[in-house]
């Protein structure tokens, strides 16, 4: 068995753990909203039609911030359709997903649902088919005190107090040719600047996210960020990143190493944003909003044109297995390592659509394997993120060349005396013995660990949670700190308490 060693020392602090790193995403897509979080006919629905079983699972997942209402959906959405008496709301055709939108769930329901779920709402405005005026109208509707027309409309709709939404996305994936109202970087940059300027004039307390590239393989990646930010650097607070990962052929090693791609993507966008900031002689350092990330079997999706105008159709309800959970755990390691730049991250999506939570209409709900690493990381990552100086074996992958076999990050919570180490072993074949040297930390008194390993459970785990639940794994305490065996293709959380 090969050996790796990391040093965990509070002197190597990256940044405080921002709870917004544990966000998720609810889009009007497939069954995420309808029969996902909202189903008035369900036996477990509350007085507002929110599924209580899904609310409970959302709480257990530990999500902090939820982005809404899209996604591609937002680029042809009229927010006004989703407010007011439900029987008067129009039924529309959503062009993003060729679906029928009943508008029975809109911004007021989403904010109510968010409060009930204990999460922060993050709202996107439509900069595809609409522009400055409609974005400012929505902001007034949500955040203004009573006394002007749109705020009074919110009050008349039963919400006397402002929704106080702090985090706003200026459109979605506007670089993508699939987007309704797709724009060039020049067009979008100008529109983002003008929309952002108007929105901040109305409510200076909000934070704004400009659209970065839809993914790092886009032909305009890099130049898109650069041009967009030349226009709107001063007005926005974040630039967005989106990435979805899947296994190609039988190349499981590259899939397990997806965090390498995420690391490079984050570092490239940060460098691009900093270059623009330098050119503009700005003192501001933009943060990154990784507001869509996950695993997704994109090769199985037939595309928007394969969809056929149904209400809440089943779209991309991927059944994930343990290997996907290990990848998600590895991506969370990458996000935490970059906690000094990434201020928001959203697992896309929350329910049914490539999601950790699944439901049956009128029936049960359950967790998918990707639920576990997310919930365990959200729970364990407290205090500050520590860089873990690491040494250990390397592995050759088809996609990324030679890379470290083990990737790690740690957090240290002084208040509780708890260190959490998150580790992924990207080798599908070899175990690695990981030594954790707890330099500069109080002596460890108890050590526990949970692990998910590709070899320990079937690849497609389905809804039988007992088949994939994380297993408790032995940790040895030593004078140096602790040591643990990382199984091939595994994700592990180690908890050390002083």
Binding site for ligand AHR (CB under 6 A): 27, 29, 70-72, 172-173, 214, 292, 348-349
- What's the rounded Cα separation, in Å, for the pair 492 and 308? 42
Provide, rounded to whole angstroms, the least separation between the CB of residue 32 and ligand AHR: 9
Whether the CB-CB separation of 456 and 399 falls below 8 Å is answered with no
- What's the rounded Cα separation, in Å, for the pair 181 and 177? 9
For residues 317 and 379, which CB has a smaller minimum distance to ligand AHR in the complex?
317
Q: Provide the angle, in degrees to the nearest 10, between the axes of the packed helices 149-156 and 132-143.
A: 50
Q: Provide the angle, in degrees to the nearest 10, between the axes of the packed helices 322-337 and 258-279.
A: 30
For residues 153 and 215, which CB has a smaller minimum distance to ligand AHR in the complex?
215
Whether the CB-CB separation of 202 and 235 falls below 8 Å is answered with no
For residues 70 and 481, which CB has a smaller minimum distance to ligand AHR in the complex?
70
Residue nearest to ligand AHR (CB): 71
The verdict on whether 246 is a catalytic residue reads: no
The one catalytic residue in 173, 187, 399, 402 is 173
- Please calculate the CA angle 226-231-237 and round it to the nearest 5 degrees: 80
Provide, rounded to whole angstroms, the least separation between the CB of residue 172 and ligand AHR: 5
Provide, rounded to whole angstroms, the least separation between the CB of residue 9 and ligand AHR: 38
| Token pair in block for residue 136 | 């400012």
For residues 368 and 419, which CB has a smaller minimum distance to ligand AHR in the complex?
368
* 8 burial type by CB count under 10 A (0-12 exposed, 13-18 middle, 19+ buried): buried
Provide, rounded to whole angstroms, the least separation between the CB of residue 393 and ligand AHR: 35
What residue has token string 């008194």? Answer: 445
The one catalytic residue in 292, 300, 476, 485 is 292
What residue has token string 């002083």? Answer: 498
For residues 244 and 366, which CB has a smaller minimum distance to ligand AHR in the complex?
244
Provide, rounded to whole angstroms, the least separation between the CB of residue 453 and ligand AHR: 28
What residue has token string 């996950």? Answer: 294
Distances (CA, A) of 85 to 142, 143, 150, 190: 17, 20, 15, 36
Q: Report CA Rg, the chain.
A: 22
The verdict on whether 292 is a catalytic residue reads: yes
Residues belonging to the active site:
173, 292
């Amino acid at each position: 068995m090969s050996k790796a060693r990391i040093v965990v020392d509070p002197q190597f602090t990256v940044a405080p753990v921002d709870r917004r790193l544990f966000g998720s995403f609810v889009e009007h897509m497939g069954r995420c909203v309808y029969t996902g979080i909202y189903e008035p006919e369900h036996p477990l629905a509350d007085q507002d039609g929110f599924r209580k079983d899904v609310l409970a699972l959302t709480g257990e997942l530990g999500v902090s911030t939820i982005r809404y209402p899209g996604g591609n959906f937002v680029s042809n959405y009229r927010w006004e359709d989703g407010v007011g008496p439900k029987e008067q709301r129009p039924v529309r055709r959503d062009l993003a997903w060729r679906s029928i939108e009943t508008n029975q769930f809109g911004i007021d329901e989403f904010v109510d649902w968010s409060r009930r779920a204990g999460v922060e709402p993050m709202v996107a405005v439509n900069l595809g088919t609409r522009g400055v005026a409609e974005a400012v109208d929505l902001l007034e509707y949500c955040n203004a005190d009573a006394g002007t027309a749109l705020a009074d409309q919110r009050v008349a709709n039963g919400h006397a107090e402002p929704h106080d939404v702090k985090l706003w996305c200026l459109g979605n994936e506007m670089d993508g040719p699939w987007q309704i109202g797709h724009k060039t970087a020049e067009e979008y940059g100008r529109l983002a600047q003008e929309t952002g300027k108007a929105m901040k004039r109305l409510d200076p307390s909000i934070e704004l996210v400009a659209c970065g590239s839809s993914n790092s393989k886009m032909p305009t990646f890099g130049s898109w960020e650069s041009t967009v930010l030349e226009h709107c650097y001063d007005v926005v607070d974040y630039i967005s990143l989106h990435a979805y990962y899947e296994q190609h052929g039988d190349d499981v090693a590259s899939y397990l190493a997806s965090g390498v791609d995420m690391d490079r993507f984050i570092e490239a966008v940060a460098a691009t944003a900093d270059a623009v900031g330098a050119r503009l002689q700005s003192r501001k350092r933009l943060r990154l909003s990784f507001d869509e990330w996950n695993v997704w079997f994109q090769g199985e999706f037939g595309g928007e044109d394969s969809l056929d105008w149904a209400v809440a159709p089943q779209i991309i309800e991927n059944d994930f297995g343990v290997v996907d959970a290990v990848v998600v755990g590895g991506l969370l390691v990458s996000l935490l390592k970059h906690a000094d730049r990434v201020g928001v991250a959203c697992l896309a999506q929350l329910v049914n659509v490539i999601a950790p939570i699944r439901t049956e209409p009128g029936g049960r709900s359950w967790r998918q394997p990707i639920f576990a690493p997310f919930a365990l990381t959200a729970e364990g990552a407290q205090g500050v993120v520590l860089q873990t100086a690491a040494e250990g074996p390397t592995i050759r992958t088809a996609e990324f060349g030679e890379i470290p076999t083990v990737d790690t990050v740690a957090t240290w919570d002084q208040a509780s005396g708890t260190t959490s180490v998150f580790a992924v072993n990207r080798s599908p074949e070899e175990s690695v013995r990981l030594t954790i040297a707890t330099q500069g930390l109080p002596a460890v008194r108890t050590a526990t660990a949970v692990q998910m390993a590709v070899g320990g459970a079937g690849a497609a785990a389905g809804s039988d949670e007992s088949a994939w639940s994380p297993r408790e794994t032995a940790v040895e305490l030593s004078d140096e700190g602790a040591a643990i065996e990382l199984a091939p293709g595994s994700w592990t959380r180690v908890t050390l308490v002083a």
